[in-house]
A = this chain, B = another copy of it.
Amino acid sequence: MRLADLPTPSLVLDRARLKRNIARMHESARRLGVGLRPHLKTAKCVEVAREVHGGGTGPITVSTLAEARFFAQAGFEDILYAVAIPPSKLDRAAGIQRAAPGLKILTDDVDGARAIVERGKSLGVRFSALVEVETGGGRAGVEPESPEFAAILDILGPAGMFAGVMAHAGHSYACDSIAAIEEVAEAERAGVVKAAGIASARGHFPATVSVGSTPTALYARHLTGVNEMRPGNFVFFDLFQHGLGMCAADDLAVGVLASVIGHSRTRNHILLDAGALALSKDTGANRRIEQVGYGLVRAPDAALPREDLAVLDVHQEHGILSARHGLDAMEPLPFGDWPVGRRIFVLPNHVCMTAAMYDRYYVVDGSDEIIAVWNRVGGW
C-alpha cells in the first residue's frame, strides 16, 4: 500500500523523523542525568512508546485511564496517570494496577488524598500516589511550602501510598526565548526539589521526583535532585513547537494526508477534505508563526512545508487553503496545479489535538510506501 491508496483524511507518521526526535530527547535526558518517562498523551500508541524504549517497555506517562489500560494490556507496568484523580476513578485505577503493578496516580488535594487512602484500604490495594506541586504553571498543584502539602503527605505517607512529587511547567509554552525556557525549567526543578526535601524532612521518602514538558526537557540547564522527565510532544513536534524554536520544520513527524475537493476562483481558495475535525480548531501556533491558520501544507515528496499557502479557515469537513502574506492575495492561485483529487499533507498546529481525531497512524519511512499501521487509543 502506498500514500496514493490511503483514504483521506488520514494521519501519516514518518518513522525516520520519529526516530530522530526520540534520539534527540534521549541525548537530552543523558545530558541531564535523568530517566525518560515519555508522556503518551500525544502519541497514544504502543509502537511509539516502544520506539522510545528501544523496542521494549519502560516507564510512561498517560493522561487518561483509557490510555493506562491500553498500555497496561500491552505489557507496560510503570505507568503514571498524570491528572489528579477524583474518587470515582479509584476503582478503575485499582483494576488497572492489577495488570500494571507500577501504576502511579496523582493528587494535589487533601480530600483527594484521603479518598485514595480510604478507597485503597477498602479495596485492599496499596495505591502509589504522587503529589503534584505548583511551580509557576498556574494550572494545578499544591504549593510546596503550604500546610495543604504537609497534610497530604501526612495522609499518604503513613498508609505507604506516597510515591513522590511531580511538576509540569506548562507555562514554558508562553516563553519568548530559550533563555526564558531555561528560567522556567529551573523554577520547575527547584520547586519539585524543594517539595521533595520537605517530604523527606517529614519522613516521607519521594521515590519519584519528576518534571517535564518538551521545552523544559530540551532546555533545562541542569536537573539536580530530579530523577525523571516527562516530555510528550517531542516524538512528533508540530508547528507550535517549531514556532517556539524547539524543532526544525523538517522534524515534524506527523501530517494529515488530504485531498483537493474543489476550488473557488472567485474567492481564490482551494478546498481540502481536511477541516475542523481532521485538523482540530487549535490556533495556538498563530501566536508564533504569522498566518499559519490551521496548518501549513507540504507536497508528499517534499521535506519542507510551502511558505506561500496555509489552511486559513476550516468548516467541519472542509479546509480552505489560501494565500498567506508573501503572495499577493489578488493574484490567482495556480488552480491548474491543484486538480480535484491531488493529495497534500497538512502539518498540524498542535499535534496532540489533531492526532486525537484518528484511530491509527499509517507509517512511512522515507518513501511513499506504508510500512505499518499503528493503532491509537481514544476516549477516557
A positions within 8 Å CB-CB of B: 7-10, 41, 63-65, 83-89, 92, 108-109, 111-112, 115, 134, 138-141, 143, 170, 259-264, 266-267, 271, 273, 276-278, 280-283, 315-318, 320, 339-341, 352-353, 356-359, 378-380
| Choice from B87, B139, B281 contacting A340 with Cβ under 8 Å | B87
By Cβ-Cβ distance, the 5 closest A-B pairs, closest first, are A86-B259, A84-B261, A86-B341, A112-B340, A281-B281
- Assess A63 versus B140: contact at CB under 8 Å? Given A87-B340, A88-B341, A359-B379: no
Cross-chain contact B316 with A263 (CB below 8 angstroms): no
Nearest-neighbour CB distance to chain B for A19, whole angstroms, equals: 25
Nearest-neighbour CB distance to chain B for A159, whole angstroms, equals: 18
- Could you say how many copies of this chain the assembly holds? 2
On chain B, the residues within 8 Å of A357 by CB distance are 356, 378-379
Cross-chain contact B86 with A273 (CB below 8 angstroms): yes
| Choice from B261, B262, B316, B320 contacting A352 with Cβ under 8 Å | B316
Q: Report the Cα distance A359→B317, complex, angstroms.
A: 18
Chain B CB within 10 Å, residue with most, of A87, A88, A134, A318 = A88
On chain B, the residues within 8 Å of A358 by CB distance are 379
Cross-chain contact A278 with B380 (CB below 8 angstroms): yes
Cross-chain contact A143 with B259 (CB below 8 angstroms): no
Nearest-neighbour CB distance to chain B for A277, whole angstroms, equals: 5
Nearest-neighbour CB distance to chain B for A111, whole angstroms, equals: 5
Cross-chain contact B280 with A112 (CB below 8 angstroms): no
- Assess A262 versus B134: contact at CB under 8 Å? Given A318-B139, A380-B278: no
Q: Report the Cα distance A85→B143, complex, angstroms.
A: 55
5 A-B pairs besides A280-B280, A281-B281, A357-B379 with CB distance below 8 A are: A84-B340, A112-B261, A139-B315, A139-B318, A281-B283
On chain B, the residues within 8 Å of A92 by CB distance are 7
- Assess A83 versus B273: contact at CB under 8 Å? Given A108-B262, A264-B138, A315-B170: yes
| Choice from B9, B276, B339 contacting A353 with Cβ under 8 Å | B276
Cross-chain contact B281 with A318 (CB below 8 angstroms): no
Cross-chain contact A262 with B84 (CB below 8 angstroms): yes
- Interface CB pairs A-B, < 8 A, 13: A84-B271, A86-B273, A89-B259, A108-B262, A111-B339, A111-B341, A139-B264, A139-B271, A276-B282, A276-B353, A280-B280, A356-B357, A357-B378
Q: Report the Cα distance A134→B262, complex, angstroms.
A: 12
On chain B, the residues within 8 Å of A83 by CB distance are 261, 273, 317-318
Q: Report the Cα distance A379→B318, complex, angstroms.
A: 14
- Assess A264 versus B134: contact at CB under 8 Å? Given A115-B340, A139-B315, A140-B318: yes
